[in-house]
Amino acid sequence: DAGVTQSPTHLIKTRGQQVTLRCSPKSGHDTVSWYQQALGQGPQFIFQYYEEEERQRGNFPDRFSGHQFPNYSSELNVNALLLGDSALYLCASSLVEASYEQYFGPGTRLTVT
């Protein structure tokens, strides 16, 4: 049973560029949440997707957007990258009726130079 997978593992981008991160949820899960983990900090909630719609959003600017596909996989897009966007981006999947029990992927390490 495959767990949550994310791609790519590492990414280096330049300020002002755009980036897309991808996530495949654990088999059977229908809900995907994204978190940003800055170095030395705890994960911060970005948003959550269910049935291809954004259900809830944290305190992140509109430069951060997402998408969920019919197969429940998800993408996180960040436009106009800033140096402060450098972080580990974590995807977590769950069942909508048990959204508190989230399973995390290994993350994508984004470095903005």
Partner 1 sequence: GDSVTQMEGPVTLSEEAFLTINCTYTATGYPSLFWYVQYPGEGLQLLLKATKADDKGSNKGFEATYRKETTSFHLEKGSVQVSDSAVYFCALKGFQKLVFGTGTRLLVSP
Strand order in the sheet with 64-68: 5-7, 19-24, 74-78, 64-68
Q: Does 19 bind partner 1 (CB under 8 A)?
A: no
* Binding status of residue 54 toward partner 1 by CB under 8 A: no
55 binds partner 1 (CB under 8 A): yes
In 1-113 the beta strands, taken as DSSP E runs, fall at 5-7, 10-13, 19-24, 31-37, 44-50, 53-57, 64-68, 74-78, 87-94, 103-104, 108-112
Give the type of residue at 77.
Answer: N
Question: Count residues contacting partner 1 (CB under 8 A)?
Answer: 24
Binding test (CB under 8 A) with partner 1, winner from 42, 53, 62, 97: 42
Q: Which stretch binds partner 1 (CB under 8 A): 15-23, 37-45, 69-77, 78-86?
A: 37-45
Where does this chain bind partner 1 (CB under 8 A)? 4, 33, 35, 40-45, 48, 55-56, 58, 90, 92, 99-107
